[in-house]
């Protein structure tokens, strides 16, 4: 079943599952890692730490979110200052930096298990291919998330004043499908 799902996903991208080599899988992984380690993603994918990051903005390396903001165990700051106080849930309000990004989804941190901040390529690769280390996500779930998540869409189009990762959500989803079809190789 899982093989079929991957084959179908890869079919949609014009790549045959049998034809994907380990080298192509590794090349796709390197592109995936370049995005997944970009601050537009890691500023939220911070793991167990309570404070989101403000890296890749104007505050220097390893800068944490200002104003005493904490996500707490709710991941939305419900126990202190809720994220929605500043990150208003609103359709397409392109706010240039520096100001709180606003999208049509409740702004929040991911579950602790989706910890990408500061991880090496090898560590993140081993994590993403193993549902036991990845909040239960299979490759097909990752592909589906990448093409439907408003957070991912924002990360690739964060508006004026913010750097963004190479490529697009659709290209990243295709890379994940190719990487999966190659057996999710890690270096």
C-alpha span between 55 and 53 (Å, rounded)? 6
Single residue of 134, 139, 180, 181 touching ligand HEC by CB under 6 A: 134
Site string for ligand HEC, 4-33 (x = CB under 6 A): ------------------------------
Binding of ligand HEC by 117 (CB under 6 A):
no
**DSSP letters for 98-110:** SS----SS---PP
Single residue of 3, 12, 98, 183 touching ligand HEC by CB under 6 A: 98
Alpha helices in the chain (DSSP H): 2-12, 22-36, 39-42, 121-128, 139-148, 150-156, 169-181
By the 8 A CB rule, do 35 and 28 touch? no
Binding of ligand HEC by 83 (CB under 6 A):
yes
Q: Which stretch binds ligand HEC (CB under 6 A): 1-9, 19-27, 78-86, 179-187?
A: 78-86
C-alpha span between 113 and 47 (Å, rounded)? 6
Q: Which stretch binds ligand HEC (CB under 6 A): 2-10, 14-22, 157-165, 177-185?
A: 157-165
What CA dihedral angle connects 54, 76, 103 and 164, to 10 degrees?
A: 30
Residues that bind ligand HEC (CB under 6 A): 35-36, 39-41, 43-45, 52, 54, 57, 65, 67, 69, 71, 76-77, 81, 83, 85-87, 97-101, 107-110, 114, 128, 134, 137, 142, 145-146, 149, 151-152, 155-156, 158, 162, 165
């Amino acid at each position: 079943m899982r093989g079929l799902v991957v084959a179908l996903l890869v079919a949609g991208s014009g790549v045959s599952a049998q034809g994907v080599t380990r080298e192509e899988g590794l090349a796709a992984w390197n592109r995936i890692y370049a995005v997944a380690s970009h601050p537009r993603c890691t500023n939220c994918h911070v793991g167990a730490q309570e404070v989101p990051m403000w890296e890749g903005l104007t505050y220097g390396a390893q800068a944490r979110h200002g104003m005493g903001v904490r996500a707490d165990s709710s991941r939305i700051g419900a126990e202190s200052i809720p994220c929605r106080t500043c990150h208003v849930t609103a359709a397409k309000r392109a706010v240039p930096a520096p100001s709180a990004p606003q999208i049509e989804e409740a702004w929040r941190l991911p579950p602790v298990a989706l910890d990408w901040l500061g991880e090496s390529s090898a560590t993140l690769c081993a994590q993403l291919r193993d549902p036991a280390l990845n909040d239960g996500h299979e490759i097909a779930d990752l592909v589906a998330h990448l093409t439907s998540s408003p957070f991912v869409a924002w990360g690739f189009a964060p508006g004026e004043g913010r750097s963004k990762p190479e490529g697009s959500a659709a290209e990243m989803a295709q890379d994940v499908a190719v990487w999966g079809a190659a057996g999710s190789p890690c270096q």
